Structure formats: C-alpha cells, structure tokens
Structure 1
Amino acid sequence: MTVEEDRETDKDEVLAHQSDILQEHSDGLASGAEQWNERESRNELKHVSGLGEMQDVSDVEYRKVRLERVVLVGVWSNADTTIEQAEESLRELAALAQTAGAVVCDGVLQHRLKPDAATYVGRGKAEEISGIVARCEADTIVVDGDLAPSQRRALEDAAKVKVVDRTAVILDIFAAHATSREGKAQVELAQLEYMLPRLRGWGGSLSRQAGGQSAGVNGGIGSRGPGETQIELDRRVIRTRISRLKKQIRQMAPARAVKRGSRHRYGLPTVAVVGYTNAGKSSLVNRLTNSGELVGNALFATLDTAVRRAKAGDGRLYAYVDTVGFVRRLPTQLVEAFKSSLEEIDEADVILHVVDASTVDPFAQIEAVNDVLSGIDGASDIPSILAFNKVDQVDQATIDRLSNIRPDAVMVSAADGSGVEKLRIAVEQLLPIPKVHVEALLPYGDEAGSLLSRVRQYGKVEKEEYLAEGVAIEADVDSHLAAQVMGLAVD
C-alpha cells in the first residue's frame, strides 16, 4: 500500500468518525426538541379570538346590575387535547361567563406539559396575566379548569383580583336559574360542598372566639384556651347547613315519587329529553307538544324538570320530560345534587338525545352527554333516538356529513319546524306497547264512558264497535286498566 493510499484510508476513517459524532448530536437534538418546543410555547400566551360574541344575553333580569369584567385563562397540553379543542373549550367558558352576567375582555391559552402546582400558570405568566387584567380594567380571572384552593389563593395574590374556576361559574349560573324549592336546595347544597374546602381565613388575631386572655378574668373555668377560629366556625356552620339541606332534599323525594307514580299508574309512557346545554331541548319540546316552556339563548336556561303531555297518532297520551342540560366537565357536586333529573331519565321509556348541529364539534357534546348517562343505572337499556337540532343554521354539506356519520339520527330545526314531524313519528314508534290484551263488552253509561276514554288515552285500541248491549272493545292496556275493564265488562 502506497503512502497516498494510507492517507486516503486515514481520511475516510476520520470522516466516518465525524459523521458518527454528528449523528449522535442530531439524535440528542431531536430528543430534546419536544421539550424545547414546549418551553418556547410556554413563554408565549396565545390570545383566543371570537370570545364575547354570544347574543341575546342582555335581557335577563339578573344582569341589570353592573356586569363583571373578566379575563379567561386556560392551560393545555398535547397529551390531553389539541389547540383547536382548547380554543373551543375557552369559547364555551366565555359563553358560560356571559350567561353568568359577565363581560369577557380577553382570553389567553398557555401551552405546557401540566398546570403549575403553585399558581396554575407559573409565577411569570401570573404577572403577565396581571398586566392584561390591569389593561382591560377587569375585576375577575376565570380559569378554564378546576383550581386547588392553594392555586386560587396564589393566583389571586399574584394578579391582585378575584379568581374563580370553571366549576364556580357553572354553580353561579345554576343559582341564578333555579326557581323551584327543590332546585334551589340542590344548587345551595352543591355550592356549599364546593365552598367548604376553599374557605379562606382573614386575620387570625381577630378571628379567635373567647380564647386565652380575651375571655376576661370573669370568664371562668372552661372559657380559657385557644378558642375556635372564625374559619373553624364557618366550616361548622356550613357542615350543619349541608346536613339540613340533604335532609330537606330527601324529604322532597316522596313528592317526586308520587308524581312519577301517577304517570306509571295510568301507564303513561315518558320520553326523557337529554342533551348538551343550549342544544335547544326546550324549544324542541315546545314544537313537539305545542307548549310554552321557557326557552332562551343562554346556557342552563332549564334547571327544573318540566313534564309536557303529547298525543300520539293512534290517540295514546305520552309525556316529554325536559331535563337539565349537561356540559363538559360537569361538576361532581351538581351531578350528585341533581339526582331528580337523573331519576327521570332512569324511569323513562325512551331517551331523546338532542345535539346542536351548529356547534364546532357536536360529537364531543355527544360524548360528554354519554359520559353522564353511563353513570345512570339502566340508562343503556332504554331505547334512544338521536336528533341534530338547529340544522337551519348550517349548510347542506354539514348536514350531509352528520347524516353519513350518524345515519340513524334525525335532522330537525325547532326554529322553523323542519324535520319535527319525522322526529315525532320516530319517537312514537319507540313507545312501549301495553302488555295486557283485553276483549270486553262495556255497558253504556257514565262510568263505562269514562273508562273507555282512559283506554283510548293510555292504551292502544285495536277494535271498537257499538252494539245494542254496549261497546265492544279490543285493546292493549296496562294491568291497572285491564283490571278496571274486566271488572266493568258485561258477562
């Protein structure tokens, strides 16, 4: 081998070694790219547009007072969601805040692996958000998530304004919309259970009750000692109130059972109308029953269960039960408190699931509702029908896409009435048929006439013939009506 060949070989070995070093360095850069990108995005707050555009919210009576000015804050990570889903969640929070009576000034998102354990967004970002709050002259920061008590206090101390989380906003809306005695008790119970671990003491020196020398020399034996702080007293008062509310709600349960019992006694089938909040459930019930239930372009406009009767094509009566709307990350306190609505779903014969077709991601709403329904015993065994509402607000391409994904769904519009008749027929086809078949001859008279009327309303009449001896009927009814018919029949 010549000297020149040796030099060429050494040169090739050096180049190969350098290539290996560069490859190892490149692999190291790639492994740290994700962390670097997360660090870079954490240093930048993303302002979300399109907030504060919800319409028809100025006519609600409880908004006559001065409206709070709020700034929305959210944190998202690639492991949990996408940027589009995070922005949609923040827009939903904006709608919640407006429904609660606030003016949304700005909304920002921070991308990080997980929320900061101390201030949720980190100390530096908390100071930056404080500057946004000052520029907007905002009163409150609303966080799109559940804050630990320590996180809320730290963020309040950093931003120098009140801080509330998503759960607090939903509870406030429920408190404003509840009208019945039971609904108010349920909301108060949920609020107190939410408030209990989040109480904050203000000044320990002023909060002691008759402890130490403050009891005075005439306090006597048993009055000296550290005493009970104000925050301890507040917790005791709240626990006592929670116990009383739970007792009151338990006492209201028999009244609900009586109302449901009257429907079951006459064999009245029920259709539970469920869905995401502001999906148009009440408007659709109004169309299906020609009633005047409260409707409004506001989240959680319906909190108290409403029952509306309807007549099927064969003359039978049945009822639509309008229930409270659901929402993503519905507070567990509310799910527990609003058991009356969940009981109505459990007792229903058919479930009508209403979805807002005009929303950005209707299938995310379907999933959120199904998550709540999965926690109800027996709900999976109840026949159900899916209805995409507000199709008048979307184009034909969207309707075609929804129809292709869910061919079993019915496209309707409560606003203009399109598709409502098709939905009514689909619902009535799922209604249960009474199980007892009767053939009888009823004599003429007031008692038989009243009974025959109930058979037409609550049963399915197959044959009705007027004879000289009386009315010959053949019908399917429940066991209660069957006993009455056979007891009055002519032998």
Structure 2
Amino acid sequence: MTPTAEQVSVIIIHPALKGAAGARLPEARLEEAAGLAAAINLCVVDTKVIAVNRPRPATLIGGGKVDEIRAQLDATEPRPGLVIVDGALTPVQHRNLETAWDVKVLDRTALILEIFGERAQTAEGRLQVELAHLDYQRSRLVRSWTHLERQRGGAGFLGGPGERQIESDRRELADKIVRLKKKLEDVKRTRALQRAKRKRAPHPVAALVGYTNAGKSTLFNRLTKSAVKAEDLLFATLDPTMRAIDLPSGLRLILSDTVGFISDLPTQLVAAFRATLEEVLEADVIIHVRDFAHQDTEAQRDDVISVLAALGIEQDDERPVIEALNKLDLLSDEDRESAETIAQASQTGAVGTMEAPVRVALSAQTGAGVDQLLDLVEETLTAAHETIDIAIPASDGAARAWLYSHAEVMDEQSGKTELVLMVRLSRKARGQFFKSFPGARETAPSDVADDA
C-alpha cells in the first residue's frame, strides 16, 4: 500500500512470545494492531508475526530479526517513518530499537494512547488521556511522536508538549501528574453528583459495554435514534454518551454508551478512565455487546470481563447482564441459526449474571433482534417490580401524571374525592413517589366504592 501525502507509512510486528497466556491467535492480534493503526490514518505497508522463544532484555526480539527489519526499512521507498511493536517494550528496548532502526517506534500502549489522544473530544476525555500519557512517559521521558504532532498542527493533547516534556525533569512531570489527578478528582466528584441526581430520579440505567468495534455505538444509535459517531474503526467512541429511551411498556430508561475495551488495555488508561467507566458500576443492567462474527469473539468476551473485574465488577456480581450477540448480518445462515439457538437456550436456563448471562442474537446494522433486546431489558428491570393500589386526591394531577410517567398503570378507578390506580413499579420508584406526594396512600380497590 502506498501512503498518501498526509499519511505516515508503518511496519507492524507482533512478537509471539512462547508460552504466552491467552486464547487469541497471533495473526488475529496482528490484524487488530493493523486496525489500531488505521484508526489514526496510518498507511500499513507490511505486517509480520515474529516468534520469540526467549525475550531479549535489550531488544525483545533476536538480533537477526532486528537486522532483517532494518534492511526492509532501508529497502522500502519511501522509507517507513514508524515501526509499531504490538506488545509491551521496556524503556531500554524502546530506545535500542529506535537506534537500531533509525525510526520512531511505538509499542502497543503508546499506540493506544495516540489513538485516545486524537479521539478525545471533551475536556474530561483530554484530561484522562493526558494523565495516562504522562504516567506512561514518567518511566521513559521520551518525546511524543513528532509526525503526529505535525499532523495535528499543534492542536490537541499530543500536538505540542513533546519538546517541553523531554526538557523537564521527573519532578516537573510528577507535579503535572498531581495537578491532573486533582482535576480528575473534581471530575469524579461532579460525575458522582450527577449519578446521585439520577438515583433520585426513578429511571433505571443500562450501560452498553463491549470490545472495541463490537457495534455498541451502532446499537446505541438504533435504540436512541441519535447520531453518535459509529464507524468501522477501533475506538470510534471515546467520550461517554447518555440518552433516554422508552421501553415497549413506556418505562423510561437511561442508556449509556461507553468506551470500547481491548486486550491488554494499558493499566494507565484503565486508571485514568475510571471516572468515565464508573458509569458502568452504577448501571442497573449491563448490556455486553459482542461481535459474534469475529473469529476471536470468545477471547474478546474474556478481555471485556477482565476489564470489568478491574473496575470492581466480578463474574459473581449479581447485577443483571444481557449479552447482545451482534452482527448477525455478517454470519452465514448456519452460524446465524447457531447464534439464535445459543441465545434462545440462555433465555430459559441462564441466571442473567456476568458468568451466565441471558443472550439475544441481533444485528444493530439491520435492526433484526433489537425489539427482543428491548423486551429482555424490560423483563430484567421489572422482574422485581410489584403491583399495588395507590389512592391519590382527585385534584392531584401532578401525582397522577407522575405515576403514568414512571410506572405501569394497569387500572384506574375514579371516586368523588380520590382516584385509585393499580400500578406496577419498582421498590425504588414506590419510595420516591410516596416521598414526593405525602397526600397519597397505599390502598385497596374497594376504597373507591366507599368513596363513590
């Protein structure tokens, strides 16, 4: 592939470490790394898997492979401006490879940080990326990638601080990190207040989680009829988005679209984005969107569960979990039938937890199965609802409107001075109603006859 004038050409290598844990194939990891590079408009001229039987402390890969890649760089016209190593490099390995190849080198963590730096749109997102980047640099004190700095024209997080960072000492870097952490604590407090406010409202919250590019934003857009950025790119969504939707019965739900997860997500990013990802911790139901057409769908599921565990949501968490087996439209007839069979079996035998989720097969692209997902969400949220009769003053229009807005009204009977409504609602909504309308009382339908 020939790079355009605006692109930087790159060679990507995946070091396949002997005995490395994980179910993912090296070729699949390499393909994913190419997708990461495409996310920031890099031109991939070559990719290769390099078997590493014994990691070299100085260069990770063997000296012969180092020389081989140097020769390839020198022979390629135009000479690639970057090599991406799809793995973790120590500062020494990073520096030695840059010297040996006379080219800029990014490891997996640095590449993901570059993507996040380019994608962050909100002030909060930029703060989180900057903190993660500085934390990564603290052990390295290396320049940011100058090609990307020129591409961004000095704008955004990675657009200019490179020279200043290399000239600053560790104390200055540490001071920056302290200041950013303080700002993020303010963000965390603000989000906590927002969550507390939502808790006081009766609307439940559902959080969409999943591996990057699993189709979360496409599903979010279909459910909310909005236009959140949804592309066939890794990390197309970075900043969280929340919208209200109405379930089939009229129950209002707050839906949250979150940043996608990925294997070996840098610990700096998990820590930095904790304030954002805590939205998941507060959700009433978690919808795990899976790319069921991907060859590594099971390994991706494991990676998502690992990140959720790092956030404090373990496999034995009792929070309801629904797995959306997405991208049915990309499956063969046989695989589609298999996905639907798996989903149907789970709906009769699964308990609906992270370990044993209820599943639904769907296509966010075509809309197939989406109505069934909404039905499952509603069943999950209303499983603990109770049916009661509530008497309110006949003149209290606000109380009546509240019940029609926040509960399922099954029957209404009118008397001279009171209305009695049979409603189905959660324990939380019940408490909120009686606190907001002290003139209301729980009663029986016969009370209406007495009032008639």
The TM tier, using the shorter chain, reads: 0.7 to 0.9
Out of 202, 207, 227, the residue aligned to residue 267 of structure 1 is 202
Out of 369, 377, 380, the residue aligned to residue 419 of structure 1 is 369
Out of 230, 248, 255, the residue aligned to residue 313 of structure 1 is 248
Query: Cα distance, 1:405 vs. partner?
Result: 5.5
The answer (yes or no) to whether the contact 1:287–1:414 under 8 Å persists in 2 is: yes
User: What is aligned with 1:196?
Assistant: 138
Cα distance in 2, alignment partners of residues 437 and 87 from structure 1: 55
In structure 2, what residue type is equivalent to 1:481?
Answer: F
Cα distance in 1, alignment partners of residues 378 and 401 from structure 2: 20
User: What is aligned with 2:436?
Assistant: 484
Q: Which has the higher Rg, Structure 1 or Structure 2?
A: 1
Report the aligned-residue RMSD. Answer: 2.6
In structure 2, what residue type is equivalent to 1:126?
Answer: V
What SS class does the counterpart of residue 89 from structure 1 fall into? helix
What SS class does the counterpart of residue 351 from structure 1 fall into? strand
Residue 357 in structure 1 maps to residue 296 in structure 2: no
Cα distance in 2, alignment partners of residues 336 and 453 from structure 1: 43
Out of 465, 470, 490, the residue aligned to residue 413 of structure 2 is 465
Cα distance in 2, alignment partners of residues 385 and 84 from structure 1: 24
User: What is aligned with 1:255?
Assistant: 190
Query: Cα distance, 1:296 vs. partner?
Result: 1.5
Query: Cα distance, 1:439 vs. partner?
Result: 3.3
User: What is aligned with 1:429?
Assistant: 379
User: What is aligned with 1:234?
Assistant: 169
Alignment of 1:139-288 (within 5 A): 139-200=81-142, 233-288=168-223
Residue deviations 1:131-188 (CA, integer Å, cap 9, x gap): 1222332100000101000001111111110111011111111111111111110110
Unaligned runs of 5+ in 1: 1-51, 59-63, 202-229
Cα distance in 2, alignment partners of residues 147 and 239 from structure 1: 22
Residue deviations 1:44-80 (CA, integer Å, cap 9, x gap): xxxxxxxx89xxxx9xxxxx98211110011114422
Cα distance in 1, alignment partners of residues 22 and 283 from structure 2: 37
Residue 443 in structure 1 maps to residue 396 in structure 2: no
Percent identity, aligned pairs only, is: 36
What SS class does the counterpart of residue 9 from structure 2 fall into? strand
Cα distance in 2, alignment partners of residues 271 and 356 from structure 1: 19
Against the structure 1 CA distance between its residues 471 and 67, is the aligned structure 2 distance closer, same or farther, given a 3 Å change threshold?
Answer: same
In structure 2, what residue type is equivalent to 1:485?
Answer: F
The answer (yes or no) to whether the contact 1:434–1:478 under 8 Å persists in 2 is: no
Kindly tell me the number of residue pairs found equivalent between the two proteins: 401
What SS class does the counterpart of residue 411 from structure 2 fall into? strand
The answer (yes or no) to whether the contact 1:100–1:169 under 8 Å persists in 2 is: no
Residue 99 in structure 1 maps to residue 39 in structure 2: yes
- Could you state the TM-score of these two structures normalised by the residue count of structure 1? 0.76
- Could you state the TM-score of these two structures normalised by the residue count of structure 2? 0.82
In structure 2, what residue type is equivalent to 1:423?
Answer: L
Cα distance in 2, alignment partners of residues 257 and 65 from structure 1: 46
User: What is aligned with 1:5?
Assistant: none
User: What is aligned with 1:346?
Assistant: 281
In structure 1, what residue type is equivalent to 2:116?
Answer: F
The answer (yes or no) to whether the contact 1:436–1:479 under 8 Å persists in 2 is: no
In structure 1, what residue type is equivalent to 2:373?
Answer: L
Cα distance in 1, alignment partners of residues 122 and 194 from structure 2: 15
Query: Cα distance, 1:404 vs. partner?
Result: 5.3
Against the structure 1 CA distance between its residues 125 and 74, is the aligned structure 2 distance closer, same or farther, given a 3 Å change threshold?
Answer: same
Of 309-318 and 345-354, deviating more is: 309-318
Residue deviations 1:364-391 (CA, integer Å, cap 9, x gap): 1111101111223355221101111111
User: What is aligned with 1:397?
Assistant: 334
